[in-house]
């Protein structure tokens, strides 16, 4: 049996005390990979690594003091990190050798992670729209990204808990599934990005798809974004839309990109008096189904802009995911005319939304885009056209039934 090969766990690692001198130390080396060690006091017994959704199978342990096996898995949709283990230790001073079971875990739940893989219209495949006429643009990541907005503490990014407490304290938990698209810089993932460029129409702009899931067991009696569950006759609940947009821009996007928490908090106060819904929501046909078309303006959010002027606030590493988020959305793009970091933007948006219901939950779909209030109308219209094309091509039956 070899001595424990590393230092004792650092603050970035997590430790599970199994009792009897047994510990599991684990840490995420990326958003999808986990390393772990089983140790007895300071002696390493076993080591493993795994990827989300790809279990490695049980790992056996056999030493003169400890024997048994354990398995760690990560559910790709719920983010549940599962541990099953059966471990025995040798009774000291007893001959012939006698073994005592000290760990017998059959219920696999070790911790929770976020974000996870998500679903849109029942599929993990993320069909991303593309906007014509405004330079390169496309998805900021692969597939569908899911955040769990709940009071549960999660590792990697514990931002869903922040959003729950600050923006959805009076509702049950919900899950947000996102296909996020942005304008792409000349060298995506490496050079300055237009998302962080205040001189670009793509500055602080997302377009794409949301699906918000609300479980009936969690107290939801209506679909997210609607006053009640009345099908195509449902009335849009505008405050839900403002809150989820505020959550996405300030927290799921810019906070994870490195915007300091105090900036995100500053722009997370909901002021419905500043928001307008003009024209009022209307029912339109798109594909083989009906949708509510919603126009909204006046939501003010922080940006991920970082100035290089002397004394300007700088981005910080809020999560292990921060470098990945910056590469996905576009690296900082300082401009000499803009000497203050994280300058806010006031947004307007155009959405097509509908919901469906099953025995356990409501699922609200939203397709659309955003633009700064001072950006030309044609830019937002191009995103609307892209949303319509996306629905017709990939989600023609996802809205309300015709007739």
Q: How far apart are CA 362 and CA 240, in angstroms?
A: 14
If asked whether residues 197 and 147 sit together in one domain, one would say: yes
In-domain check, residue 7:
no
If asked whether residues 150 and 44 sit together in one domain, one would say: no
In-domain check, residue 3:
no
If asked whether residues 79 and 146 sit together in one domain, one would say: no
In-domain check, residue 6:
no
Q: How many domains does the chain have?
A: 2
If asked whether residues 157 and 89 sit together in one domain, one would say: no
If asked whether residues 330 and 343 sit together in one domain, one would say: yes
Last residue of a domain, one of 80, 112, 144: 112
Residue with tokens 């009774």: 91
If asked whether residues 96 and 62 sit together in one domain, one would say: yes
If asked whether residues 241 and 176 sit together in one domain, one would say: yes
Last residue of a domain, one of 112, 132, 151: 112
If asked whether residues 160 and 297 sit together in one domain, one would say: yes
Q: How far apart are CA 26 and CA 17, in angstroms?
A: 12
If asked whether residues 259 and 338 sit together in one domain, one would say: yes
pLDDT at 1: 28
If asked whether residues 206 and 141 sit together in one domain, one would say: yes
In-domain check, residue 320:
yes
Percent with pLDDT over 70 in the chain? 94
Residue with tokens 């014509």: 132
Tell me how far apart the 2 most distant CA atoms of the chain are, in Å.
84
If asked whether residues 226 and 371 sit together in one domain, one would say: yes
In-domain check, residue 375:
yes
Please name the residues in contact with 397: beta carbons below 8 A apart, sequence gap of 6 or more: 287, 288, 289
pLDDT single digits (tens) 339-357: 999 999 999 999 999 999 9
In-domain check, residue 5:
no
pLDDT at 7: 42
Range of the domain at 135: 115-401
Last residue of a domain, one of 112, 139, 164: 112
User: Whole-prediction pTM value?
Assistant: 0.89
In-domain check, residue 8:
no
pLDDT single digits (tens) 121-144: 999 998 999 999 999 999 988 889
């Amino acid at each position: 049996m070899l001595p424990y090969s590393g230092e004792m766990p650092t603050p970035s690692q997590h430790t599970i005390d199994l009792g009897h001198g047994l510990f599991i130390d684990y840490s995420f080396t990326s958003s999808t990979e986990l390393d772990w060690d089983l140790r007895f006091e300071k002696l390493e017994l076993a080591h493993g690594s795994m990827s989300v959704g790809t279990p490695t199978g049980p790992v056996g342990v056999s030493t003169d003091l400890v024997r048994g096996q354990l398995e760690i898995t990560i559910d790709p949709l719920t983010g549940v990190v599962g541990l099953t283990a059966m471990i025995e230790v040798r009774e000291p001073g007893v001959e012939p050798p006698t073994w005592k079971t000290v760990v017998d875990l059959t219920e696999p739940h070790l911790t929770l992670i976020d974000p996870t893989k998500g679903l849109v219209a029942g599929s993990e495949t993320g069909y991303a729209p593309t906007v014509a006429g405004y330079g390169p643009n496309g998805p900021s990541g692969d597939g569908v990204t899911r955040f769990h907005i709940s009071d549960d503490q999660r590792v990697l990014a514990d931002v869903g808990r922040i959003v729950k407490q600050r923006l959805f304290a009076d509702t049950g938990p919900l899950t947000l599934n996102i296909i996020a698209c942005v304008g792409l810089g000349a060298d995506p993932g490496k050079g300055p990005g237009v998302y962080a460029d205040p001189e670009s129409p793509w500055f602080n702009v997302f377009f794409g798809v949301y699906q918000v899931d609300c479980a009936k067991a969690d107290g939801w009696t209506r679909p997210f974004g609607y006053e009640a569950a009345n099908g195509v006759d449902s009335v849009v609940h505008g405050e839900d839309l403002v809150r989820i947009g505020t959550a996405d821009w300030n927290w799921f996007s810019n906070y994870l990109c490195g915007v300091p928490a105090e900036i995100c908090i500053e722009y997370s106060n909901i002021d419905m008096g500043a928001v307008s819904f003009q024209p009022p929501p209307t029912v339109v046909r798109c594909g083989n189904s009906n949708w509510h078309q919603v126009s909204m303006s006046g939501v003010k959010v922080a940006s991920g802009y970082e100035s290089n002027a002397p004394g300007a606030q700088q981005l910080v590493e809020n999560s292990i995911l921060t470098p990945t988020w910056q590469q996905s959305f576009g690296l900082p793009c300082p401009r000499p005319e803009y000497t203050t970091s994280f300058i806010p933007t006031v947004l307007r948006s155009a959405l097509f939304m509908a919901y469906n219901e099953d025995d356990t939950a409501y699922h609200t779909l939203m397709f659309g885009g955003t633009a700064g209030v001072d950006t030309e109308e044609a830019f937002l219209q191009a995103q609307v056209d892209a949303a319509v094309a996306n629905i017709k091509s990939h989600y023609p039956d996802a809205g309300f039934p015709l007739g």
